[in-house]
Amino acid sequence: MLLGWMNHGQLDIVCVRKINDTESLLKLVQDSTQRLKVFLTVLVLGVSFFRFAKRDFAYRETTAFEEFMIDSFGPVQRAFSDSQSWLSDLVNHYVANVNASRLNEELVKKIAKLESEILATQETVKENQRLKELLKFGQNLTHQEVLAQIVAWDASSDFRVIRINKGAADGIKIQSPVVTANGVVGYIYRLTDHFADVLTILDPNNRVDGLVARIRAHGIIEGYTDRRALMKYVTRTEPVILDDMVLTSGLGNIYPKGLVIGHVAKIERQSYGITQHIEIRPAVDFSRLEEVIVLMSNADASKKLEWSALDAFDGGSDQ
């Protein structure tokens, strides 16, 4: 009985082993079949493409297999071609945009440079025109003149002063009058070798003896505001009217006679008092002032002539 049980157990083990071997064999067959299918598919596709590449382009009828391949792979080829074209267009568009951006930057820089050069040229032309007017005006003066440019402006509550780039080294003296082709600016009140400060007629500390050109009425002009001056001590009986021209009288030993100071802008006659309130609009636009002329003192020139004459006389007497 024991022998029978052992034989029965061995039989079961053998059966299990056979079943496992059978399953392994079936799995191997399935794997081989799958690989064979893949191989055959690749082979068919390869042969098809090979035949398509090597086929004779002479006119002949297309086989059913070729029609199947064309119909099957045509959409794929079209999609691939479209995607390739789209990608190529995208790359070209990007490169074109980059190049256009660089070109725009270069053009912007060139335009900015040209605009700067144009502005500089225009400024040079305007400056030349102003200098020509000043030089032409200087030719009509009996004084020697020095052309100067404004380098600074002090418009504090106490002083209204401009600074010029010429000084004692250029022959400028204290109280030398400063003018433009339009009219009086002021006079030199502070001086160094290479710079000078001009006290303008807008400063309350600057007083100029002037006269109304039309009626020859005298008065003292002094600074009042940033844009106006006052003409004081003109009697109420003087028939001053708006826009009357006011000139330097030549008194005071600073300004020569006949320089334009400005025009009458406002008149107030009170019912009492002996004078009238007259505001003067300066002939010079101080907000746009860039160049001026400094007039050399005739007194200094006369002294030089006198000393030259004395030197010549002394030299003649020594002989």
131 contacts: CB under 8 Å, gap ≥ 6: 147, 291
- Average pLDDT score, the chain: 75
Give the whole-angstrom CA distance, residue 197 versus residue 178. 10
Helix boundaries (H) for 55-169: 64-139
Closest C-alpha to 261, from 304, 223, 303: 223
- Residue 282, exposed/middle/buried by CB under 10 A (0-12, 13-18, 19+)? buried
pLDDT confidence of residue 20: 55
pTM (two decimals): 0.55
Name the architecture of domain 145-298: Beta Barrel (2.40)
- Token pair for residue 191? 């001086």
d(CA 286, CA 206): 15
CA distances from 289 to 48, 130, 162, 216, 237 (A): 93, 10, 10, 29, 36
Quick one: DSSP state of residue 170?
A: G
Joined together, the tokens standing for residue 115 give 């605009």
Domain ranges of the chain: 145-298
pLDDT tens by residue, 123-142 = 777 667 766 666 666 656 66
pLDDT (tens, 9 = 90+) of the chain, 319 residues, equals: 433 444 444 444 444 455 455 556 556 555 656 665 566 565 556 555 555 555 554 555 667 666 666 666 666 666 666 666 776 777 777 777 878 888 888 888 788 777 777 777 777 776 677 666 666 666 566 668 889 999 998 866 566 899 999 999 999 999 999 999 899 999 999 999 999 999 999 999 999 999 999 999 999 999 988 889 999 999 999 999 999 999 999 888 899 889 999 999 999 987 788 999 999 999 999 988 888 999 986 544 444 444 444 454 444 444 4
